[in-house]
Amino acid sequence: MPWLSISLELDPAPAEALSDALMEAGADSVALEPAGERMRVTALAPVGADAGALVAAAAASAALPPPAFSATRLEDDDWVRRSQAQFGPIRVSEELWIVPSWCEPPDPSAIAVRLDPGLAFGTGSHASTRLVLQRIACLMRGGRAGGLRVLDYGCGSGILAIVAAKLGAGEVAAVDIDPQALETSAANAAANGVRLRVALPDQLPAGTYDLVLANILAGPLIALEAQLAARVRAGGRILLSGILQAQGVEVCAAYARDFDASMAAAEEGWALIEGRRR
C-alpha cells in the first residue's frame, strides 16, 4: 500500500509537539530524526489525503504557526525499511527494555516489552514517553507494583499500560477515544502476554485507581482534569506527560484543584508532572 509522506523541519521542541499533534490530527504514523540542529518530522497519511489541511490542523492544535512542508508518494516497502532502520531497542531502566520485533533483546535477564512502530502513537523513542516510562519503572521497582490498579488514559499503542502490567500491576485498564488505538493496544498486550481492560473512556466501569497515566498534550490534559481526578483514589498518584516545559506551570495550576502536583522530571524540553490526590 502506498503512502503520502509529509516532511518538514523545525527546532526540536516544536518538532516533537507537532509530531504529537499530527497523530491527533489523523496521520497514520510520525517519525522524528535529527537534521543538523533541527529535527525532521515525517508523517504518513493515505494517498489522497489533504496534506495542507493535516499540517494546518496539527499546527493549530500545538499552538504553532503552520510550517512549510513537502509531500511525496512513498511505497510501502520503502517505509518498512526506513522504520526498521530508525527504531532499535530502547533502554528504559536497568530492568526494562522496549524492543522491536526485528531485534533481539540486548539483555536477556531484563524485562523486554515487544513493540513495533505502527498506526498508534507510542514506541518509547519520544522523550515524553520515556519520562513517564522511567517514572513507572521507578515506582514499581522491587515488587512494589503488586495489587496496584493502573489506568492508562489515551493509551495509543498501549505502551504505558503494557509496561505497568509487565512490572506486576494487579489490574491495568487502557482507554482511548480512537478505536484504532484500542485495537492496537489489545494486539500489543496479547503479543506481550499481558491482560488489559481495553475500552472507550465512557465504557470503563466506575471506580478509582492507584495510578493514572496520561501522555497526551497540555491542552487536552488541562481540559480533562476533573475527569482524570475522578479516577484517582485519595492518596493515589497521577503522571502527566506530553507537556512542553514551558507549559508545565499551567498544567500544574490546573491540577492543583485536586492534587499536590509538581514537575517531577524534564528531558529535551518536555516535562513530566506528578501529582498525589488529596
Assigned fold of 121-277: Rossmann fold (3.40.50)
Assigned fold of 3-75: Alpha-Beta Plaits (3.30.70)
pLDDT score recorded for residue 66: 92
Order of strands, sheet of 96-99, starting from the edge strand that comes earlier in the sequence: 90-93, 96-99, 111-114
Other beta carbons less than 10 A from residue 193's beta carbon: 10
pTM: 0.74
**Cα–Cα distances in Å, from 261 out to 39, 111, 186, 217?**
31, 30, 31, 17
Amino acid letter, 149: R
C-alpha count within 13 angstroms, C-beta hemisphere, residue 263:
17
Residues of the chain with pLDDT under 50: 78-80, 84, 119-120
**Domain residue limits, the chain:** 3-75, 121-277
| Three-class secondary structure of residue 238 per DSSP | strand
pLDDT score recorded for residue 161: 97
pLDDT score recorded for residue 120: 43
Q: How far does CA 131 lie from the centroid of its chain?
A: 10
